[in-house]
């Protein structure tokens, strides 16, 4: 998935994806360098990350 698709899937802004995905432990794949670099995400890894965010006993 690209950044927009991932943001929609997670119900967050695209800027959150760029600023916080790596910091939060969401695995990214970078294609290219510099300001034109694109980041992508594996659907299975995004789904696994979502499951890890679950809060128990709320």
Which of 44, 51, 54 shows the shortest CA–CA distance to 6? 44
57 in any annotated domain: no
Q: Which residues contact 37 (CB under 8 A, 6 or more apart)?
A: 30, 31
11 in any annotated domain: yes
Full residue range of the structural domain in which residue 13 is found: 3-52
User: Which tokens sit at 2?
Assistant: 């690209």
pLDDT tens, the chain, 58 aa long: 999 999 999 999 999 999 999 899 999 999 999 888 899 999 999 999 999 998 877 5
Provide the terminal-to-terminal Cα distance of the chain, rounded to the nearest Å.
31
Tell the residue number behind the tokens 């800027």, with chain if given: 15
The reported pLDDT for the residue numbered 58 is 57
Domain count, the chain: 1
User: Rounded distance, CA 51 to CA 30, Å?
Assistant: 23
The reported pLDDT for the residue numbered 20 is 93
């Amino acid at each position: 998935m690209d950044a927009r698709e991932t943001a929609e899937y997670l119900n967050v802004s695209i800027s959150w994806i760029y600023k916080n995905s790596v910091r939060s432990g969401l695995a990214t794949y970078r294609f290219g360098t510099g300001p034109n670099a694109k980041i992508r995400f594996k659907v299975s890894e995004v789904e696994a990350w979502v499951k890890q965010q679950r809060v128990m006993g709320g």
